[in-house]
Amino acid sequence: VSKAYAEAEQRGLISGEVGRGTFVVDRRRGVLNDKSQRQSIDLALNVPPATGAEELVAKTLGEMAADGGAAALFDYLPHQGLREHREPMAAWLADRGIDAIPDRLVITHGAQHAISLAMGLVAPQASIVLTESLTYSGMIALASTAGYRLHGVMMDNEGLLPEALDSAFAETRSRVLYCMPSLQTPTGAVMSEARRDVIAQIVRDHDAYLVEDDTYAFLFESSPHSLTSRLPERSFYVTSFAKCLAPGLRIGAVQTPEQYRDRCINAVRATGWMAVPVMAEVVARLIINGDLDRQVALKRESAARRNEIACQVLGDWITPLSPVAAFHVWLPLPAGRTLTALVAEAARAGITVAPPHALRPNDLSSLGIRLCLGAPASESILESALIKIRQILENAEAISLV
């Protein structure tokens, strides 16, 4: 019900006013044409805050048209992606402490595609896949398409709990773990180096494969060592240029274990031939001329400012799990409240929030909402949305009405 509210609000079919309730919008009055009236503030989608990346991409496309660089990119090109693109991408990852090897890097249509390719190689249809107890919505979507049975593993402030992971492997006989050790989605947890050592060993002990989603690693000044670096022979390392540049580029990459390289390249062929070379060229040029690093610095600064606003406005209602500012913060569900009520009340106040998909329905202590701070067009819009969220949290009566 709460999702339907949020969706209807986003489509401009209903509008809500605090204290009055939710009303169906009268289309004949042309309210839908008035953007300011119909658009809710989106705190559900994890988009990066605007830092001028679109302008940079447009400028680069202009340069490519002018210098003829684009012309050769409209052909059928290697499925893996051009070496001229993989090399700068690998070098960029290496600067972040990732052991990236151009020969084993496969350029994909975003991280979502990379995850889906990796899973397709190691997780047979209908098999059990282990994930954190709350996981990325794209994994849920993939599981419902491929028929994977997701099994949530309990977490603490550092992400996956080693004992819980060990028993989950033993109980389910699963051979695949998908996880996000750095700035986990949706909680924002960051796994310590010591915990990473233990988790990697458990994966090895159970002869399993790992799909490591490191989409947010660029937000660290000094990125923790990946799980992949501990388990290169059984890990797929997933990265993306959606969050450090722009989601619409649809460029990501996966580094495969040596023995899966050729099968992964064939899987790209089977699912789309190749990632769009023009967009991969844009990314490669921005890496080479240093603009990507400048964007990363701006994204980190923006994330830090937006987190500060969230902490100031929401105070004790949130407890960020990491000193590194992410684009999302975790809002634990206060005792005695329901997610449905929180989502519905937020929709009434013109704010879209989405509850995560809990994979362990009995684990009520882990319920909450991921607040994505990047989408609001300005920091003041974000602040006003968070103030409304705080008012909803403070108004216990309203929140218990649904």
Ligand X SMILES: Cc1ncc(COP(=O)(O)O)c(C=O)c1O
Contact footprint for ligand X (CB under 6 A): 46, 110-112, 136, 138, 180, 185, 213, 215, 240, 242, 247, 252
CB of 56 vs ligand X, minimal distance in Å:
18
CB of 173 vs ligand X, minimal distance in Å:
26
User: Nearer to ligand X by C-beta: 15 or 352?
Assistant: 352
CB of 185 vs ligand X, minimal distance in Å:
4
User: Nearer to ligand X by C-beta: 15 or 187?
Assistant: 187
DSSP per residue over 73-104, as a string? GGS---TT--HHHHHHHHHHHHHTT----GGG
User: Nearer to ligand X by C-beta: 78 or 247?
Assistant: 247
List the structure tokens of 218: 């660029």
Q: Are strands 155-156 and 149-153 parallel, antiparallel or unpaired?
A: unpaired
CB of 276 vs ligand X, minimal distance in Å:
13
Which of 158-162's residues contact partners 24+ apart within 8 Å by CB, and which partners? 158/189, 158/190, 158/191, 158/192, 158/195, 159/132, 159/184, 159/187, 159/189, 159/190, 159/191, 159/195, 160/132, 160/191, 160/195, 160/199, 162/195, 162/198, 162/199, 162/202
CB of 63 vs ligand X, minimal distance in Å:
24
Strand pairing partners for 159? Answer: 156
Which position has the token pair 């830090």? Answer: 304
User: Nearer to ligand X by C-beta: 117 or 398?
Assistant: 117
User: Nearer to ligand X by C-beta: 15 or 112?
Assistant: 112
User: Nearer to ligand X by C-beta: 136 or 260?
Assistant: 136
CB of 125 vs ligand X, minimal distance in Å:
21
Cβ-proximal residue to ligand X, closest one:
110
Ranges of H-type helices in 245-375: 261-272, 277-288, 291-314, 339-348
